[in-house]
C-alpha cells in the first residue's frame, strides 16, 4: 500500500521564478519530496520561489509544519516565497496559522509571477 504516492512534486522555472508544483496531498509523507525540491531550486541559486498547489484537497498540520520549515530556510537564504493555487479553505488555514506573513498568497500562478515582477522591479 503506497501511501507516499499521494503527492507529486516537480520543479520548473518561469520568468526567473523557481516553481515547485505540488499535486496531491501535503501530509507527513510529503516531507522528503518537498524538502528535496526546495534544496534543488536553492542550489541553482533561485531567489524567488513559488509553491504552486494543485488538487490539494488535503493539507494537514504535519504538512503545515513542513511548509514552516521551508519558510525558515527561505528566510535564512534571503529568498522570497509565495504560494498559489490553494483552495479557499487552505488559504484561510494558511492565514490562520500565520504563513501569510511570510509568503504572499496568490490565486494562481500568473498572479504570483506578476507579484514577483513587481517585487524585483521595486
Partner 1 sequence: MELVLPNELGYELIARDAVAAFARRAGMPRDQIDDVKTALCEACINAIEHGNSMNPELRVQVSCCVDDDRLVIEVCDQGVSPFAPKAEPLSMVEKVSGFGSLRGMGLMLISQLSDESGFVPHGEVGNCFRFAFQRHRAASLSC
Partner 2 sequence: MGKSYDMSHEPVEKIIELRLPSKLGYERVAMDTASSLARRMGFHADRVESLKTAISEAVTNAIEHGNQQDAAMKVVVLLTARDDELIISVADQGRKILNQDCTTSSPQIADVLDKPDKGGWGIWLIRELMDEVEFTTAPSGGNQVRMVIHLEK
- Going by C-alpha positions, the residue among 86, 9, 77 that lies closest to residue 48 is 77
Q: How far is the CB of 1 from partner 1 (least distance, A)?
A: 4
The entry of partner 2, partner 1, none that residue 60 binds, CB within 5 to 8 Å by partner kind: partner 2
Site for partner 2 in 33-52 (CB under 8 A): none
Q: Cβ distance 115 to 104 under 8 Å? A: yes
Backbone angles phi, psi at 117, to 5 degrees: -60, -45
Nearer to partner 1, 3 or 119 (CB): 3
Alpha helices, DSSP H, located in the chain = 31-43, 61-76, 88-97, 109-121
User: Exposure string (b/e) for 60-69, b if CB count within 10 Å is 16 or more?
Assistant: eeebbebbee
Kindly state the cell numbers that stand for 74: 527561505
Q: How far is the CB of 54 from partner 2 (least distance, A)?
A: 17
Cα 101 to chain centroid distance, Å, stands at 14
Q: How far is the CB of 65 from partner 2 (least distance, A)?
A: 4
Site string for partner 1, 2-41 (x = CB under 8 A): xx--------------------------------------
Q: Which residues bind partner 2 (CB under 8 A)?
A: 1, 3, 6, 27-29, 58, 60-62, 64-66, 68-69, 71-72, 75, 87-89, 92-93, 96-99, 101-102
Q: Which residues bind partner 1 (CB under 8 A)?
A: 1-3
Amino acid at each position: 500500500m503506497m501511501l507516499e504516492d499521494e503527492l507529486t512534486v516537480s520543479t520548473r522555472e518561469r520568468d526567473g521564478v523557481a516553481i515547485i508544483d505540488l499535486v496531491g496531498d501535503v501530509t507527513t509523507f510529503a516531507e522528503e519530496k518537498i524538502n528535496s525540491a526546495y534544496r534543488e531550486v536553492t542550489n541553482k541559486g533561485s531567489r524567488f520561489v513559488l509553491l504552486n498547489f494543485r488538487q490539494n484537497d488535503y493539507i494537514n498540520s504535519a504538512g503545515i509544519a513542513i511548509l514552516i520549515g521551508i519558510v525558515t530556510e527561505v528566510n535564512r537564504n534571503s529568498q522570497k516565497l509565495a504560494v498559489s493555487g490553494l483552495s479557499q479553505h487552505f488559504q484561510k488555514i494558511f492565514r490562520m496559522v500565520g504563513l501569510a506573513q511570510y509568503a504572499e498568497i496568490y490565486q494562481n500562478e500568473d498572479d504570483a509571477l506578476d507579484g514577483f515582477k513587481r517585487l524585483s522591479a521595486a
